[in-house]
Chain A
Amino acid sequence: MTRASGAGAPLVLGIETSCDETGIAIVRGRTLLADAIASSVDEQARFGGVVPEIASRAHLEALAPTLARATAEAGIHLADVDAIAVTAGPGLVGALLVGVSAAESLALALGKPLYGVNHLAAHVAVDRLVHGDLPEPAIALLVSGGHTSLLRVDDVTLEVTALGSTLDDAAGEAFDKVARVLGLPFPGGPHIDAAAGAGDARAIDFPRALSAHRDDEDHRYDFSFSGLKTAVVRWLEVQRRAGNPISTADVAAAFQEAVVDVLVSKALRACRDTGISTLVVGGGVAANSRLRVVLTERAEGLDVRVPPPHLCTDNGAMVAALGAALVERGRPPSAPGMGADSSMPVDTIVV
């Protein structure tokens, strides 16, 4: 047994509160012992998006029960943990602060080191719980309602570089907005995915932004989804005005195909350009069934790692997984009073 999986592997508690999921998990090295989650998504649904104040209130409400659930599930004594890890950013500041304050206090009360970590690096690190340690360097594609990033990961505990990101909406946001105009519930991703299953993706040709030859220089790895959303809205208006019947399934499928096409094309381009053969995918949109299929179809010869959907969305396991990697590689912990950084840059892995 290696240090990362055996009895000597670090026992780490991870806390995630950057958006609307309160996630508290415990790992021993690469083994997930407990992954407790409380979500305010049902309360958010009626507002068609995440309301920061509702999320922050829900995090505080969920704090003690979720901590209790995680420690009970893992069957450990808190006193035995080797470190506490918490998302310090990026995210909603009021939401982050609930997790950071709790983590600081746990670390102090237990006399354990604290790691305030980057949410994006944590999305990458969670894969080690599923597929084992990530071969480095790797390319990471992170897509959710809050982020759309293409990263080069030389060392998930030390060196992560942004290759590209979205210039406007996050991919998940585009799913939410298109779902809304189609009359589908929030969050849009799963509903569009389900509706698209019965549709014809070739029925409508929606635009692929930043994919033209002229974008190769300046926006080679960047994304843009607001134009696509507008194109869907316009198309619907034209059809309604003409009195044509609208197939929600076809619109969903064609929209989804456009998003997936751009995500996969750019991710594979990054792999080819850099000669890196490992691609790891994370974030809520990584749960999309079409994205998974297209990746497998087009990523010939590459090692494509997509964690199961429940680990792709925000959770405590990703934070604990990164925390364990930090402990294993002997990285220094954060200083007390680190606070939260709502716009934490991706190359800062620990504050």
Chain B
Amino acid sequence: MLILAIDTSTAATSVAVLGATAGPILRTQIDGRRHAEVVAPLLREALREADVDPADIGLVACGVGPGPFTGLRVGIATAIAFGFARDVPVVGVCSLDVTARAAVRDLGTSVTVLSRARKSEVCWASYDDRAMRIAGPIIRREPVNITGACVGDAGPVDEVRYPSALDLAELVVERMALGEALPDDFALPEDTSTEAGQSSATVLVDRVRAARILLPPRPIYLRRPDAVVPASLTGGAA
């Protein structure tokens, strides 16, 4: 099956086509402020290079972060719309898992992946030497429990790495081959973490913790929106 994969969870916009006769195609551009301008042209290029028609794509995979929200949503919206247009499934994967998979393969050790959140914070997760997540994803000022080599795009790391859409596509294929089902629960709670109680982000993190690799195409936000209820609306003076 032909897979189209997209990740915009970091400064890199990464697009891949896997399964084409022309071989695996990867297109990446690093520009943390222009995901929206970059992703469609990269997609077009990747499909052309792979000599693949959009109608041939059988599955769309996207990185669901964690990562800076605006850029992250560009990739996920792109994936959702492509899947809708071609009537094919769309699956999400934690972007740190993608970076970890490649790093463990290349370095042969356990790793901790750090990814830039915003301001002075990082998202991080740790992986064993089979690239299975053993801690995180969590957002913190500093990572704790660093295991093995430190990779990612937020210092200090031993090696700067971005999630590659080709690793993302391969990870999805691998998990499907292992029998992991595609998530069909597009009806996760619509709560967008503004009310007390379990938010959709929390639900996702629980799934991630439960070692589910294949996720619905929804951002792992790990943070509620910054929003303050004005004093005049909290029942005080009006």
Contact of B43 among A64, A98, A105 (CB under 8 A): A105
A58–B43 Cα gap in the complex (Å)?
Answer: 25
Q: Which of A119-127, A167-175, A333-341 contacts B (4 or more CB under 8 A)?
A: A333-341
Contact assessment for B74 and A64 in the assembled complex, using a CB-CB cutoff below 8 Å: no
Q: Which residues of B contact A102 (CB under 8 A)?
A: 77-78, 80-81
Contact assessment for B78 and A337 in the assembled complex, using a CB-CB cutoff below 8 Å: no
B229 within 8 A of A: yes
A101–B79 Cα gap in the complex (Å)?
Answer: 9
A100–B86 Cα gap in the complex (Å)?
Answer: 18
Contact count A vs B, C-beta below 8 Å: 137
Contact of A109 among B39, B41, B86, B219 (CB under 8 A): B86
The smallest C-beta distance from A194 to any residue of chain B, in angstroms, reads: 18
A181–B190 Cα gap in the complex (Å)?
Answer: 31
Q: Given A48-B233, A109-B86, A63 and B77 touching (CB < 8 A)? A: yes
Contact assessment for A54 and B36 in the assembled complex, using a CB-CB cutoff below 8 Å: no
**Could you tell me which residues of chain A, from 76 to 104, have a CB within 8 Å of some CB in chain B?**
78, 93-94, 97-104
The smallest C-beta distance from A42 to any residue of chain B, in angstroms, reads: 10
Interface centre among B37, B85, B219 (most CB of A within 10 A): B85
B127 within 8 A of A: no
Contacts A51-B227, A60-B218, A101-B39 aside, 11 further interface pairs with beta carbons under 8 A come to A47-B228, A53-B69, A54-B194, A61-B190, A78-B84, A97-B36, A97-B70, A101-B73, A102-B77, A109-B86, A111-B54
A111–B80 Cα gap in the complex (Å)?
Answer: 16
Interface centre among A51, A57, A111, A336 (most CB of B within 10 A): A57
A53–B118 Cα gap in the complex (Å)?
Answer: 14
| Interface of B (DSSP majority class) | helix
A118 within 8 A of B: no
Contact of B225 among A53, A67, A98 (CB under 8 A): A53
Contact of B73 among A98, A104, A111 (CB under 8 A): A98
Contact assessment for B81 and A106 in the assembled complex, using a CB-CB cutoff below 8 Å: yes
Contact assessment for A67 and B84 in the assembled complex, using a CB-CB cutoff below 8 Å: yes
A53–B219 Cα gap in the complex (Å)?
Answer: 13
How many positions in chain B have a CB within 8 Å of any CB in the partner chain? 44
The smallest C-beta distance from A330 to any residue of chain B, in angstroms, reads: 23
Contact assessment for A108 and B73 in the assembled complex, using a CB-CB cutoff below 8 Å: no
Q: Which residues of A contact B227 (CB under 8 A)?
A: 47, 51, 53-54
A111–B85 Cα gap in the complex (Å)?
Answer: 10
Contact of A101 among B78, B85, B190, B193 (CB under 8 A): B78
Q: Which residues of A contact B232 (CB under 8 A)?
A: 48, 180-181
A-B contact pairs, 21 of them (CB 8 A): A47-B233, A48-B230, A48-B233, A56-B73, A61-B190, A61-B200, A64-B84, A93-B70, A104-B78, A105-B43, A105-B77, A105-B82, A106-B84, A109-B86, A110-B54, A183-B238, A336-B40, A336-B41, A337-B36, A337-B40, A337-B41
Q: Given A102-B78, A105-B77, A336-B44, A47 and B221 touching (CB < 8 A)? A: no
Proximity string of chain B (155-188) to chain A, C-beta cutoff 8 Å, 1 when within and 0 when not? 0000000000000000000000000000000100
Residue of B whose beta carbon sits closest to that of A68: B84
